[in-house]
Structure 1
Amino acid sequence: MKVYERVVELLEAEGVRTLFGIPDPNFVHMFQLAEERGWTVVAPHHEASAGFMAEAVTRMTGGPAVCVGTLGPGVANLAPAMMCAKVEGSPVVFLGGQRARVTEQRVRRGRIQFVRQAELFAPSVKYCASLEYADQTDEVVREGLRRALSGTPGPVYIEYPAHVIQEELDVPPAAPPETYRLVGQSAGADRVAEAASAIGSARQPILLVGHGVHTARAGEAVRALAGLMACPVVQTSGGTSFIEGLEDRTFPYGFSTAAVDAVERSDLCLAIGTELGEPVHYGRGRHWAANEAHRTWLLIERNPEAVGVNRPVDVPLVGDLRAIVPQLVDALKDSPRTPTPELERWIGQDAAQLAEAAESAPSGMSPVHPARLIVEATRAFPADGIMVRDGGATTIFGWSYNQAKPHDVLWNQNFGHLGTGLPYAIGASVAQGRERPLMLITGDSSFLFHIAELETAARLGLPLVCVVGVDHAWGLEVGVYKRTFGQGSLETGTHWSQDTRLDKVAEGFGCHGEYVEHEKDIAPAVARGFASGKPSVIHVAVDPKANSEEMPQYAEFRTWYAEGTQ
């Protein structure tokens, strides 16, 4: 077989069945072969979008995904997606085209579409290599997959010089992953027994669930563990998906009074799928400080180098949480805990806070108050839907006023990269067979980053409704100007034309579009969007003053953002 055929075969052995990117002479053979083998091949309008789509696939499948960039400009466009995948812990394999090495080695100037790519991207990936010789193909691709999926997951970059694309290989069938990398690493029996004993002795245990639980698709095992521990589930800001069956006892850290109380009273915390980073005050500041001296910490962590970095850990369980959580379930199955009275109280407290948020969100305004936008849009969220978040102020309002408890939520939490929402939605839908309904809730600033991908969504026929809060400004930044310089500041660079109509833009891409300026019309517009059979954009005019000045629990947000945790 040829080199490009072997690359496809090696990726296929890891379960990859999607390919994102824009084809050029380096990749047309690979695109055609992937299509012939039944892969889903998606060509968006920008390589950064392709990378974000691939990242969404990793989140929805628990496995790797692949994205390609054409040589020179195409590879340059991959940079934001690479950096996001690195910070978000997503195992994306980025394949970059490149001219033949003879071009690189010549001492000449004025070469077309040429730059030394690998050295630019090496700091942004876990592994950076080049297929210099055909017979390197297996070892380089496997090393890339090994690095991407070992320890803390992350992206790798493999360069694909033109001179090796069509070279021939004589190789056996691709071997399964377990023959060349560690798969399903479990924890030692002594550590599992120690953890089970600590859980059994605790009076008020909690589960702290992060982003990794959902990207590993480990919800079912964690639900069983939470049932045996009879405890609340506290979400990190990255772990905002709700595990089916645990919706009532899952509380967002810092933004739920029940979560705060559960954390402060806890005498044992089992942390799963989280780095214990700034958004949870490293597990030792703010809400954790009150009972720090009497709290036992258990941590499930794939990367041994991460254990004990942000805070001391009493019982580390090193390995794949998909293997370790079932070990704990097995160890606890004969001695389930009895729920404490506080659990029912916290469940009621959190439900009351959610209801109060819906009641208190300012109503009767036109343009709509952004808090009311969140309430009305999320009330209309389909039960089996995938929720995607994007934006600054819009996301902050969402933390406090969201009325839905989706089982799958995607957003760029760790890196805070705006514009990922629409590509994430497309990638997530592709990963799930384009059947489950999706709702993207975003601000206009973020939505405009990759708005061209509405055509991609329309071409694929995705069941997507984009609810866009429009204030014709960088709302979060307007707020910064006001807090820094006072009312009436110049707010330089934060505003644009109020004639912009995103619903009309959507219609131009072949999507369904609606314009809304009254809260009562939001939910019906969402329903019509899903019923249209097309991707839809609901342009909701939101009050710019409220959007920039009334962000809820902003003080709490600041305690873990930047200077709050230094």
Structure 2
Amino acid sequence: MAVKVYERVLDLFEAEGIDTIFGIPDPNFVHLFHLAEERGWTVVAPHHEASAGFMAEAVSRMTGKAAVCAGTLGPGIANMAPAIMCAKVENSPVVFLAGQRARITEQRVRRGRIQFVQQAGLFEPSVKYAASIEYAGQTDEIVREGLRRALTGGPGPVYIEYPSHVIQEELDVPPALPPAAYRLTGQQAGPDRIAEAAGRIRAAERPVLLVGHGVHTARAAEPVRELAELMACPVVQTSGGTSYIKGLEDRTFPYGFSPAAIEAVVTSDLCLAIGTELGEPVHYGRGRHWVENEANRTWILVEQDPEAIGVNRPIDVPLVGDLRAVVPQLAGALRDAPRSPSPDLDDWIARDAARLADLAATAPSGTSPVHPARLIVEATKVFPADGIMVRDGGATTIFGWTYSQAKPHDVLWNQNFGHLGTGLPYAIGAAVADGRRRPLMLITGDSSFQFHIAELETAARLGLPLVCVVAVDYAWGLEVGVYKRTFGQGSRETGTHWSTATRLDRVAEGFGCHGEYVERDEDIAPAIKRAYASAKTAVVHVVVDPKANSEEMPSYDEFRTWYAEGMQ
């Protein structure tokens, strides 16, 4: 059949189940965007290409599929650079489409070329694959290779560009192939390895299930839930794997921040790790809380990338394959003889529930400005049970780790790269992927919120059920704390403060959103309820105590062990 290149590009993405694109349309993409909308795609044009990339990453996390973001040649691609780097570090399979001038422009020995830079070479270190569709006939092979690389092994971003004249050329091609016809899908582990892993799990007395970011991004909660129930053991979350699996909320404990998690790890004789790189936030599975009992602990790792096996620590039973295929294999091997519950599981569940209740009761209250711990408690107590939680910010996120009273089934935050400003675009992308059905709550600091604050207009235009709860200390709170620890109390904190006249609720109203201004903790929950009731995207501006925000971050010493104290 005869099709234009831009039609074929859409065909190839549709074969992968992709039906959403983010970007700012320009001459390179107007035909593609127009046709995508005609075909029923969701086409979202934000105010900045970095936001577009973050939104696409959120769609990938919420769907378990690759996602697509487009940027115009030159400046548009430059704007997407932060999102490309984030997708690399966060292991997100985003296809970044780029416009480019005709290749003759690159070959000319001239200066003063408009909107031109050799783009592919700039991004090669930050992506798994970079290529240019220079001839129409390359379209299938390059797009498929991009998707193959993005989704094979450890997931990650790819970069594909094409000159504007190529996209208008015609191809005579057969229907697009389904994924299984041109790349490896649903890879299972070998039956011998599955049998060995199942035998070791049955023999263990105190196993733990270590759940990471990949369980959420693969949308594998249900098979992991069955496996956890068959193992009858505690579930320990990595800092990236903070989405709670439905049915396992009570027995799921955050690594390093829950005494139950620490005790479960220290006393464990087997760890089954799924969807995690065993990186710095879990001390590579060999430092800090893992040191004790190391000689008696068996390690089983489910990992899609065979090159990752044994890199950060020795693994006794590697299960190489897609966790969406491997976890059901393992559950099937255990189904006939599930384990008896771990001996301390009920005690850990009770103690962790008591810990959360105590934090809610003891978080400082009655102050104005509000203590940031109390902000987290009050906001998360009214978090909708079916909602999507998005996190952003430095000090605000650290308070959130400890004081959150909610156990969301979907949590998005930029954990590995730590890129501030991702929260609002992530929330928009997540809402789009969800079909704008479930309520969302973004808990963020004012510093990070202002990175991409223009996207409030995008959220309002799309009518998203999003409430942004912003902890406002009128400062870079985490950096203020660094100044104090480095130079002592009363030191000059250069470049960290701004005007207390900043009113984010009024900014929100200017974008057509609902705004609330809060100075007392007892007003937080009512303000959030009014925000949801408004049926608009909303911003709740909560003034927090800057001294507490910079000096009283909970579990900060534990956080520092991720990259300090000899762990480099």
Query: TM above 0.5, one fold?
Result: yes
Give the residue type in structure 1 aligned to 2:336. D
Aligned to 1:102: 104
Any conservation in 2 of the 1:388–1:411 contact (CA below 8 Å)?
yes
Match of 2:240 among 238, 241, 266: 238
Any conservation in 2 of the 1:302–1:321 contact (CA below 8 Å)?
yes
C-alpha distance in 1 between matches for 2:500 and 2:342? 54
Any conservation in 2 of the 1:207–1:231 contact (CA below 8 Å)?
yes
Please show how residues 116-515 of structure 1 align to structure 2 within 5 Å: 116-515=118-517
Moved more, 536-545 or 109-118: 109-118
Any conservation in 1 of the 2:209–2:228 contact (CA below 8 Å)?
yes
Moved more, 215-224 or 100-109: 100-109
Q: 1:17 to 1:563 in 2, by over 3 A?
A: farther
Deviation at 1:487, TM superposition (A): 1.0
- Secondary structure (helix, strand or coil) at the match of 2:542 reads strand
- Secondary structure (helix, strand or coil) at the match of 1:135 reads helix
C-alpha distance in 2 between matches for 1:434 and 1:457? 10
Any conservation in 2 of the 1:558–1:564 contact (CA below 8 Å)?
no
Deviation at 1:451, TM superposition (A): 0.1
Any conservation in 1 of the 2:206–2:343 contact (CA below 8 Å)?
no
- Secondary structure (helix, strand or coil) at the match of 2:527 reads helix
- Secondary structure (helix, strand or coil) at the match of 1:169 reads strand
C-alpha distance in 1 between matches for 2:236 and 2:167? 49
Deviations 1:416-475 (A, max 9, x none): 000000000000000000110000000000000000000000000000000000000000
Deviation at 1:102, TM superposition (A): 1.6
Give the residue type in structure 2 aligned to 1:437. P
Deviation at 1:181, TM superposition (A): 0.3
Alignment RMSD:
0.6
Any conservation in 2 of the 1:101–1:163 contact (CA below 8 Å)?
no
Q: 1:562 to 1:39 in 2, by over 3 A?
A: farther
Aligned to 1:62: 64
C-alpha distance in 1 between matches for 2:565 and 2:384? 38
C-alpha distance in 1 between matches for 2:168 and 2:407? 50
Q: Identity over the aligned pairs, expressed in percent?
A: 81
Q: TM-score, normalised by structure 2?
A: 0.99
- Secondary structure (helix, strand or coil) at the match of 1:341 reads coil
Deviation at 1:251, TM superposition (A): 0.1
Deviation at 1:341, TM superposition (A): 2.8
C-alpha distance in 1 between matches for 2:561 and 2:430? 31
Deviation at 1:488, TM superposition (A): 1.3
Deviations 1:486-527 (A, max 9, x none): 111111010111100000000000000000000011011111
Deviation at 1:340, TM superposition (A): 2.7
C-alpha distance in 2 between matches for 1:120 and 1:322? 34
C-alpha distance in 2 between matches for 1:93 and 1:376? 39
Any conservation in 2 of the 1:94–1:156 contact (CA below 8 Å)?
yes
Q: How many residues are treated as equivalent by the alignment?
A: 566
- Secondary structure (helix, strand or coil) at the match of 1:208 reads strand
Deviation at 1:200, TM superposition (A): 0.4
C-alpha distance in 1 between matches for 2:261 and 2:356? 13
Give the residue type in structure 2 aligned to 1:97. G
Give the residue type in structure 1 aligned to 2:69. C
C-alpha distance in 2 between matches for 1:163 and 1:462? 37
Q: 1:404 to 1:564 in 2, by over 3 A?
A: farther
Match of 1:93 among 92, 95, 98: 95
Give the residue type in structure 1 aligned to 2:166. V
C-alpha distance in 2 between matches for 1:152 and 1:329? 23
Deviation at 1:100, TM superposition (A): 1.1
- Secondary structure (helix, strand or coil) at the match of 1:54 reads helix
- Secondary structure (helix, strand or coil) at the match of 1:115 reads coil
Deviation at 1:104, TM superposition (A): 1.4
Q: TM-score, normalised by structure 1?
A: 1.00
C-alpha distance in 2 between matches for 1:454 and 1:562? 37
Deviations 1:168-204 (A, max 9, x none): 1000010100000000000000000000000000000
Give the residue type in structure 1 aligned to 2:7. E
Deviation at 1:563, TM superposition (A): 4.8
Give the residue type in structure 1 aligned to 2:372. P
C-alpha distance in 2 between matches for 1:353 and 1:308? 35
